[in-house]
């Protein structure tokens, strides 16, 4: 009689255990994207940033390398501030600005110089751009991210190729695991 109870008890325990494993196997779980934690590398200072100035040509392209990712890891750009400047307050210019890597254009912006003279008064247009990328722009290990700027329009008096115009750029991001 005790053997039957022991067999029954073992059978019930095994059935409960197998049912629990089965329920866990088919139970829907929350999907997790890669990676489950942050992608910031474990280096001593994974934050990257820089600031530079690009002299914008009156005709043709002007370009500057914002950052070159080291061969060991990618860099992700998360924030970008662009400020235009010119010494000609009577000339409004529009610029096409692109962030470009070896694999193509990653972002594109239209920028305007800060002043415009019209009907005997100067207007400060304040067309600076501050961009926060939710996911970031990835610069693959060993590649460079360039800013390429082309003037697409000029309007107003004294719009000459002798003017001085600049784009001030500040960027920040982080080193990422490749």
- Structurally, how many domains does the chain consist of? 2
In a domain? residue 37: no
Residues 57 and 117 in one domain: yes
40 within domain boundaries: no
Residues 123 and 61 in one domain: yes
Q: Quick one: 22 and 54 in the same domain? A: no
Same domain? For 12 and 69 the reply is no
Which of 46, 72, 79 is closest to 174 using CA atoms? 46
Domain that holds residue 107: 47-176
Q: What is the DSSP string of 97-158?
A: EEEEETTEEEEEEEEE-SEEEETTEEEE----EEEEEEEEEEE-TT-EEEEEEEEEEEEETT
Most confident of the following: 5-9, 93-97, 119-123: 93-97
What does the pLDDT look like over 162-174, one tens digit per residue? 889 999 999 999 9
Q: Is residue 168 part of a domain?
A: yes
In angstroms, the first-to-last Cα distance of the chain is 65
Contact 109/129 with Cβ under 8 angstroms?
A: yes
CATH number at residue 148: 2.60.120.530
Give the pLDDT confidence of 73-104 residue by residue, as tens digits.
999 999 999 998 888 877 888 899 999 999 89
Examine residue 35 and state whether it is found in any structural domain, yes or no: no
Q: With a threshold of 0.75, does the pTM exceed it?
A: no
């Amino acid at each position: 009689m005790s053997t039957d109870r022991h067999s029954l008890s073992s059978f019930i325990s095994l059935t409960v255990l197998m049912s629990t494993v089965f329920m866990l196997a088919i139970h829907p779980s929350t999907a997790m994207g890669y990676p489950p934690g942050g992608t910031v590398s474990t280096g001593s200072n994974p934050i990257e940033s820089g600031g530079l100035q690009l002299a914008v040509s009156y005709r043709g392209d002007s370009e500057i390398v914002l950052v070159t990712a080291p061969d060991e890891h990618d860099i992700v750009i998360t924030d970008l501030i662009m400020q235009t400047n010119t010494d000609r307050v009577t000339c409004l210019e529009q610029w096409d600005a692109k962030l470009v890597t070896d694999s193509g254009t990653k972002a594109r912006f239209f920028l305007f110089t800060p002043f415009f003279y019209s009907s005997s008064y100067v207007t400060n247009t304040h067309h600076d751009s501050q961009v926060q990328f939710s996911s970031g722009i990835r610069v693959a290990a060993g590649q460079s991210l360039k800013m390429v700027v082309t003037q697409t329009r000029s309007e107003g008096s004294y719009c000459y190729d002798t003017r001085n115009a600049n784009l001030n750029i500040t960027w920040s991001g982080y080193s990422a695991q490749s």
